[in-house]
Structure 1
């Protein structure tokens, strides 16, 4: 028993004992390599791929590992300057790429690779963390592959991707990475995290179940009444589908609720980014230099606006997908009730509604409705316009 194991950076990984153990061993090996000591083969490698379902903590695990690699004490204490600056996103040797829109382009990856090719400033590791590596474009994947094939001695690549679609990461890159599979945390594990943050036990248990193992969403549901109201709007959909016109009305409300949640999560971000960029470009200054800078700022502001729109589109798509997952779980609960299965329900707070639906629908019709929701998710992922996909789904749910 050691306090370090309980309180290190990996304690942020919820319900991931196997992954935590693997990363702790690699951290020890990495510290030995920095000291010039030999390590067993396979304990530490230059490229890692973190996979798992949404909410499993892929990027959390990658960031914790990045902090541990920069730890001045060599185990990821969470207290030293290396750990703190990495976790706060300010460490000079840790570069993180997150898609501003629906994809990560080649220009950004090439710039990243060039920067990561140098020796680490702090004498430990250059770390490149790519969240949502499945969104790399083909040309961006090719640029990254060259760096992964022949990495500098002290550069480590940490890639994150959903386990549902591992083929979205190029096989040439996957084959050169050590895999760290994460699983959906149990409701008990998520509830424990909420309890430690001051949430009461009843709310923690409910939010943990309703979030389906997604820690971030569980926190949001536990603390944000607007998030709870938007979830209720989603779960009210099935009983609102009384005729064809109601299907189109429900589709409009469904998309509006998802967009409202996405916009709330980004509230104020775009305005701050624009103001910061204008200030950096000399807005409000006087003299010839300021006037020249102002004339040249139009291109930079236009590019920022493009990235902000792309990010907003991605956020709305992701939030809509979470709403569809909530709706799919409703039909799952109905099927469980219809078949009398002794398994926990995702939405225990609306058990009366799912029980009534189970009495009215056959198991076959419930499965058809569940498949309609899953088909909508797939259609949106294939870039079908969300409104068209959701309207088709609503009609299928009404028809049963």
Structure 2
């Protein structure tokens, strides 16, 4: 399949980038060298950047049904002329950007372009962005920069004004479901449910479609929220949610380490149970080092908690839909909980429902500011309690 087949629900953007790649010779005067790819979480902006990079440097422009060695390397993040900066930290460091700039000045080794991808460029502090600014404004003749962010407003105007901005849409439920059926082999009913619950987030939809425990944790959170009556309920639910998030993150990191160790053995020609040679032990053990695992687990735990906030917001979104009698046009996310959400829509005023969405947004900011997850969720659930009227 072509490099574009994994991009979900972004046909206009894909057609635009295909035309850019196919322009006469894709020469230096025919293509912008600094791009800003914007889209909400889960829209696939990083995947689109990789697909674009693969199309730019592959001899077949990434269109062949059978991926070339070049496109496979780019999509796997191992091509020597495509550098990808991603981070599990809160911010991207200034030294990381300086290293990228040095790389960007080097001639490509085999491809017509050297491509630099920065995921989550919105995580740069202003002083770091200023280091990048000159390279974005005047790139090396052989280099293309692909920056990714949730929206153009999340990036400093000085960067935004010097790039060609591409905006991605939230994929439709049908598009996400078709992707899950094609890529994961799940049945249509499961795919449609996962797409609806994920609200256009492709990665989350894949989780819901393939991990029963993750889906069960989601159901438990929604039921717990709808059953909140006392402060003690709020405290218990907060503790359970934080524990569940830690467990999910630990399982995910364990899987990542296992895959990395398996790939390491394959690359170095080692069997599953074969002893690691002394010269390779340091690199092998670093894959599952305690500090690295702890750092990844902490970051992933916050990602899970952020997803939980989206789930909570979806309940009050459904309340607002029912209060405005818009369910036939807008639809409900949490269809399985319609009776309880209908009851909540009667117990809450329209203003109270909106206030709860704002309360969830406040909790998100506190969590992003390194607030204690347990305290943030305890305070949140206490604020979401509904007094009987």
| Structure 1 and Structure 2 fold alike (TM over 0.5) | yes
Quote the residue 2:296 is aligned against.
311
Pick from 20, 32, 38 the counterpart of residue 26 of structure 1. Answer: 20
Match of 2:273 in 1: none
Alignment match of 1:334 (pick from 305, 319, 322) = 319
The equivalent of 1:4 in structure 2 is none
Q: Does 2:99 correspond to 1:111?
A: yes
Aligned residues: 373
Give 2:179's aligned residue.
193
Superposed, 1:119-268 pairs within 5 Å as 119-163=107-151, 166-197=152-183, 198-268=185-255
Query: RMSD in angstroms over aligned alpha carbons?
Result: 2.9
TM-aligned CA deviation for residue 28 of structure 1:
1.4
**Structure 1 pair 171–305 and aligned structure 2 pair: CA distance change class (3 A):** farther
Listed as ranges, the gaps of 5+ residues in structure 1 are: 1-6
Q: Is residue 2:83 matched to residue 1:95?
A: yes
Q: What residue ranges of structure 2 are gaps of 5+ in the alignment? A: 269-275
CA contact (8 A) 2:228 2:386 kept: no
Deviation of 1:105 (Å): 0.8
Matches of 1:66 and 1:76 in 2, distance apart? 13
SS at match of 2:79: coil
Match of 2:307 in 1: 322
Question: SS where residue 50 of structure 1 aligns?
Answer: strand
Shift of 1:180: 0.7
Are residues 100 and 372 of structure 1, via their aligned partners in 2, closer, same or farther at CA, if it must alter by over 3 Å?
closer
Provide the rounded CA distance (Å) in 1 between the counterparts of 2:377 and 2:86: 27
TM-score of the two chains, using structure 2 as the length reference: 0.86
State the alpha-carbon separation in 2 of the partners of residues 30 and 97 from structure 1.
30
Query: Does 353-362 or 329-338 show the bigger shift?
Result: 353-362
Secondary structure of the equivalent of 2:221? helix
Partners of 1:239 and 1:332 lie apart in 2 by 13
Q: CA 1:81–1:272 in structure 2 vs 1: closer, same or farther (change >3 Å)? A: closer
Superposed CA offset, 1:187-232 (max 9, x none): 1111111222322121111111000001111111111111111111
The CA distance in 1 between the partners of 2:113 and 2:311, in whole Å, is 41
Whether the 8 Å CA contact 1:70–1:86 is kept in 2: the answer is no
Q: Which residue in 1 is equivalent to 2:44?
A: 57
Contact 2:62–2:71, Cα closer than 8 Å, also in 1? no
Q: Report the Cα distance in structure 1 between the residues aligned to 2:42 and 2:256, rounded to whole angstroms.
A: 23
